[in-house]
Every structure is written in structure tokens, then in C-alpha cells.
Copies of this chain bind each other. A is one copy, B any other.
Amino acid sequence: MRIGELAARSDVSVRALRYYEEQGLLEANRSDSGQRHYPESAAARVQLIQMLYAAGLSSRTIAELLPCVDARVSTPESRARLAVERDRIDAQIAALTRTRDRLDAVIAFSGSPGSGCTYIADRDVAAQASHSVMP
């Protein structure tokens, strides 16, 4: 399939796919005229790339991990590399969980009866500030 179709299937932009290639994350077969041509499997690959980007990994890190995932290259070093990133993601999940619980606590408190503050009475500072931040 050509780049436009892969973009549509993967729900990423054509520009992003070319960028992935530039970063060494995604390769393409070229037709005689130079157009990129991808196998079906490319869609899964792009999805994986997106997952890793969403986990906060950089292009460079992804480029280092992908050969391990996809060609099953396994050395002690590559497994360690994968584990490092796995642990980073674990830590990130833990931090996000704390943040979510913090927000939950605030929501529960502010929504509880007797919190005594369903309306802004004291200060117009808050409302004023949140509007004045916008240009």
C-alpha cells in the first residue's frame, strides 16, 4: 500500500510516516518512480511506534528498541534495555496513579455536602486571573 493509505489506516499523518522513516523507525520499499510502498505489517508497526511515543519515549530510544521487538534480536544488553524502559513506564504509571488519586480526592471533597462552597463568594481574583491569562 502507498503512504496515503497507511496514514489513513494508522490514523497518523503522511508527514509523520515520512518522519518515522527519517528517524529509522519505519522502512519502505520504493517503486521505480520513488514512491514508498508498505506491506500490510507496516500498520502494526506504526501502531507500536505510536504506543511507544505515547509512553514518552523519544525517536532515538524507539529506534534502539524496535530491532529487539521486531527482529527478536536478543542479547543481555537488549533485554536490559527493554527492561529499563519497562521500568520507566512502571514508574510513570505509579506517578500517574498518584496524580489521579489526588484529583479524585479533590473531586470528592469539593463535591461532598458541607464543603460549603458551591459558589465563588470571596474573591473575584480566581475568575479574573483565569481570563486574563488568555491573550
Which residues of A line the B interface, CB within 8 A? Answer: 23-24, 27, 39, 41-42, 44-45, 48, 51-52, 54-55, 60, 63-64, 67-76, 78-79, 82-83, 85-86, 89-90, 92-93, 95-100, 102-104, 106-107, 109-111, 115, 117-120, 123, 125-126, 129-134
Contact = CB atoms under 8 A, between A and B. Distances in A.
Copies of this chain present in the complex amount to: 2
A48 B83 contact: no
B71 A125 contact: yes
Nearest to A45: B133
Given A79-B111, A130-B63, A86 B103 contact: yes
A69 B106 contact: yes
A120 B73 CA distance: 7
Contacts of A27: 130
Give the interface centre of A24, A119, A133 by most chain B CB atoms within 10 Å. Answer: A133
Contacts of A107: 79, 82-83, 86
B104 A86 contact: yes
A70 B134 contact: yes
B89 A96 contact: yes
Give the interface centre of A115, A119, A131 by most chain B CB atoms within 10 Å. Answer: A131
Nearest to A104: B86
